[in-house]
Chains A and B, each alone.
Chain A
Amino acid sequence: MRNYLLSPKFLRSALPGASLVILLMAIFYTQPRAMSYFGLNLMLQYTVPIALATIAQMFILTVNDLDLSIGPFVGLTACIGATLLNTDPVFGVLALLACIAVYAGLGALIHWRNLPSIVVTLGMSFVWLGVAVLILPTPGGTAPAWIKAVMGFKPTLQLFGYNVIPPFPIIAAAVIAVVVHIGLMRSSYGVVLRGAGGNPRAIARAGWSMLKIKVTMFALAGLFGVLAGLSLIGLTSAADAHIADRYTLYSIAGVILGGGEFVGGRVSPTGAVIGAMTLTLAGSFLIFLRISPDWQVGAQGAILILVLALRALINWREAR
């Protein structure tokens, strides 16, 4: 048992959860008032959009690509959500569907021409930003009331004076993790999708279409990007083309913090959601520590490097 607990395999799988728990304890220690229903709700409210964006990035990483445009894309869908979707729902939905279709098309293009995804998505990040600026030149717009209602959902049930139902962000994060886990990790086609990251040639040899797989993964990424954008305006009420620029880093960091690898189809939806939660909390923690906002971005970069360093250490121990 003790050997198992010290084995690299276990340490690797325990790393995401442990990071989250340690961070939570550190927060409660520095700021005991955070240990309340409303404290948690406040600290975690941005978990939902970040987790959705992280899942989107995870789909792309599963097939050994990288999406550097997910941030601006989330920004664009937020802009559409706060303008078109509110004023003309049918047109708004069509616009969002078109966004997903473009994403699927990118998957096809990258597969067909064997292109490096980072150059394509870097180019696309400008396109998304440009469209967003055209739709919403200055910050503003209004989120549809129903999205705000969903995101502001506060189920309460008091037993012995305590809220027994966890805050909405936690419930939502759990739902996202379970749904994606079933789809990608448990379903029979999910296996093929992950296999395409592990050994694309073997998948092609078994008669599966790699084109279809890439299109599916990019379309799913687009779908979750859209959901991220919509959930984001549900919290902020208004939008801005640059509202989600940082989500590109968040999403990559979230997947990595959650134990995902850059290549080889080794990903974990549960881990990714935990990673997103850790990142969100890290933001709050830095504020509690009164770290100057100048260092917020840098601190997040440092956390990412730290986790990767820990993982490198575990792998190094394993190799010995």
Chain B
Amino acid sequence: MQTANGKIVSLEGVAKSFGAVRALAGVDLAVGAGECLGRVGHNGAGKSTLMHALAGTLVPDEGKIVASGEDRTASYNVTLAHQLGIRCVFQELSLCPNLTVAENARIFHPNLKGWGWRRRAGSMIIGKLDEIFPGHGIADDDVVGDLSIGKRQMVEIARAFTVTDEPLHLVILDEPTSSLDSVTAGQLLNFVRKLVTENRSCILISHLLGEILDYCDRVVVMRDGEVVAERPAGDFDRDSLVAAMGDVTDEQKIEAHERIEKKRGEMPVVIRARPQTSDGAQELVAHKGEIVGLAGLAGHGQTRMLLQIYAAAAKRTTDTEVDGPVALVAGDRQTDGIFHLWSIGENVNVRSLRNMVRGLLIEPAREDALANEWKDRIKIKTPNMANNILSLSGGNQQKALFARALGSDAEIVLMDDPMRGVDVGTKLEVYDLIRQEAEGGRTFLWYTTEMDELSNCDHIYVFRNGRIVAELSRNELTEEKVLQSSFEEAAAS
């Protein structure tokens, strides 16, 4: 491994909070020239927040940013980061869908102007695409909105590596392979290694521990907004890395096994659904009282499947049958879940209002009763359910969303990776509650990106590219099997 000869950028004691949620709790991090730094941690460990601080898109509450030997904390912003040669590929796409590939390259480079800029931008971005992803099939005048998600990701990555007059020292890649197939992912990772030999640096954030272990020089493990381990990649193996991330798998499994084994098929089928992207593909079946897991890499059609089932509950379609009222627990609380102007109580009750109407009016007494019942049952930490929902921490907001679904008349509960950014204690409480409710005859469909959560499920479907590619019963469940199916080559194509 090449040793760092001079630091490109270092963070000292950087902290950041969003309301009651502490995303970063004083983090130190230094990146040297010519190294590939891997960063791992569970959802909500603060990886992305740290990256935004480095990219200059987010101002930390406290701490110091030192770049090229100078304290830049006061003036640090996106423009300065670019001038210092620090680039970032964000998880959510930062391309303008209404512009062409070449025009998007222009956005990134303020100095790309004057006569013939379009031709120069085009050849620059296509040249870089050719270098990283040979055989990409993208033209410089393609409108980005018309490209597939994978190609957009390739454009975005290639763009981060293009150089005009500003230097390029460090590129931060946040889950860069999430929308790439395994061939292009390999192309990218090999390119990163080549870059490192040219004395440039890279930070790789990934859920895929294999990528981290195989391609990084140094690994930083984050947990609850802090750096908990920092070692050369060679000193880690998969197990020690998982252990450092603070997995709760062991105790989890013991509890989960206590669950009475139900024979699949004894109970009536309540959901039968086929992914709409493919015809003749495998369908998903859930029986009453079952906890069904939807596994696979993030964004491979699991959420779409849940929404398809959710929509079918109101309006039946040919490829989806749902028997019984449905409720959904959102994972993306801000966009899909909470009503930010409302109290905790109103947020819990909204799904059940129909049952609280007497005559034409909603009964306040019934509203209070339901809210307070669930305050106790799911242990929402608040003095008063009439307080605004945003007064709660992220984990407790999520509990309120669970209370909304569980307190309703729904017999089927869909969960869209609901444990994102939730602390371990809360998770364990909610797991218990889900198992109790399943005993009581409720059916759960649980999309999760966290391997240990799958051990709570009776039956698991693995998704890839919008299709179901594997079906596992709980006895067959191993991390290997899930990962293998998630990554399997599309053999035919």
Contacts and interface: CB of A to CB of B under 8 A. Distances in A.
Do A and B share a direct contact in the complex (Cβ within 8 angstroms)? yes
Given A189-B113, A191-B107, A207 B96 contact: no
22 contacts: A186-B118, A191-B99, A191-B103, A191-B106, A192-B107, A194-B96, A194-B98, A194-B99, A195-B96, A195-B99, A198-B96, A198-B97, A199-B94, A199-B95, A199-B97, A202-B93, A203-B107, A205-B57, A206-B78, A207-B78, A207-B79, A266-B98
A195 B101 CA distance: 12
A205 B90 contact: yes
Contacts of B110: 207-208
Contact of B117 (A188, A194, A207, A266): A188
A197 interface: yes
A265 B106 contact: no
B415 to A, nearest CB: 28
A9 B142 CA distance: 13
Nearest to B79: A207
B236 to A, nearest CB: 32
Contacts of A266: 98
B98 A201 contact: no
Interface in A181-220: 186, 188-189, 191-192, 194-195, 197-199, 201-208
Q: Contact residue range for chain B?
A: 20 to 34
B425 interface: no
A202 B94 contact: yes
A207 B82 contact: yes
A188 B113 contact: yes
A80 B335 CA distance: 48
Contact of B95 (A189, A202, A204, A208): A202
Given A194-B98, A202-B94, A202-B95, 19 more contacts: A9-B146, A192-B106, A192-B107, A194-B103, A195-B104, A198-B99, A199-B96, A202-B93, A202-B96, A203-B107, A204-B78, A205-B57, A205-B78, A206-B78, A207-B78, A207-B82, A208-B110, A265-B96, A265-B99
Nearest to A197: B98
Q: How large is the interface on A (under 10, 10 to 19, 20 to 34, 35 or more residues)?
A: 20 to 34
B107 A206 contact: yes
Contacts of A208: 107, 110
Interface of B: 55, 57, 77-79, 82, 90, 93-99, 103-104, 106-108, 110, 112-114, 117-118, 146
A191 B78 CA distance: 19
A130 interface: no
Given A188-B106, A191-B107, A205-B78, A265 B98 contact: yes
A13 to B, nearest CB: 12
Contacts of A192: 106-107
Nearest to A199: B96
A105 interface: no
Contacts of A206: 78, 94, 107-108
Contacts of A205: 55, 57, 78, 90, 94
A92 interface: no
Interface of A: 9, 186, 188-189, 191-192, 194-195, 197-199, 201-208, 264-266
Nearest to B103: A191
Contacts of A204: 78
Contact of B114 (A188, A202, A203, A264): A188
Most buried by A among B90, B94, B107, B112: B107
A195 B98 contact: yes
B124 to A, nearest CB: 13
Contacts of B107: 191-192, 195, 202-203, 206, 208
Contacts of A201: 94
A203 B146 CA distance: 19
A188 B94 CA distance: 18
Given A188-B113, A205-B90, A207-B110, A264 B103 contact: no
Find the residue from A186, A191, A197, A198 having the highest chain B CB count within 10 A.
Answer: A191
A163 B135 CA distance: 54
Contacts of A198: 96-99
B78 A195 contact: no
A266 B100 CA distance: 12
B98 A264 contact: yes
Nearest to A200: B96
Contacts of B82: 207
Contacts of B114: 188
A205 to B, nearest CB: 5
Which of the listed residues B77, B96, B112, B117 has the most CB atoms from chain A within 10 Å of its own CB?
B96
Contacts of B78: 204-207
B162 to A, nearest CB: 12
A195 B103 contact: yes
Contacts of B103: 191, 194-195
Nearest to B146: A9
| Interface-central residue, A186, A188, A198, A201, by most chain B CB under 10 Å | A188
A203 B96 contact: yes
A100 B55 CA distance: 36
A38 B98 CA distance: 41
Contacts of A195: 96, 98-99, 103-104, 107
Nearest to B113: A188
Contacts of A207: 77-79, 82, 110
A207 B103 CA distance: 15
A45 to B, nearest CB: 34
Contacts of B104: 195
A63 to B, nearest CB: 12
A14 B396 CA distance: 53
A197 B96 CA distance: 8
Nearest to A185: B103
A207 B56 CA distance: 9
A264 B97 contact: yes
A89 to B, nearest CB: 36
A54 to B, nearest CB: 19
A5 to B, nearest CB: 18
B178 to A, nearest CB: 18
Contacts of A199: 94-97
Contacts of A265: 96, 98-99
A197 B145 CA distance: 13
Nearest to A202: B94
Contacts of A191: 99, 103, 106-107
Nearest to A62: B98
A192 B94 CA distance: 13
A212 to B, nearest CB: 12
B427 to A, nearest CB: 31
Contacts of B97: 198-199, 264
A18 B449 CA distance: 50
B393 to A, nearest CB: 26
Nearest to B109: A206
A302 B373 CA distance: 55
A32 B329 CA distance: 66
Contacts of A197: 98
Nearest to A203: B107
Contacts of B79: 207
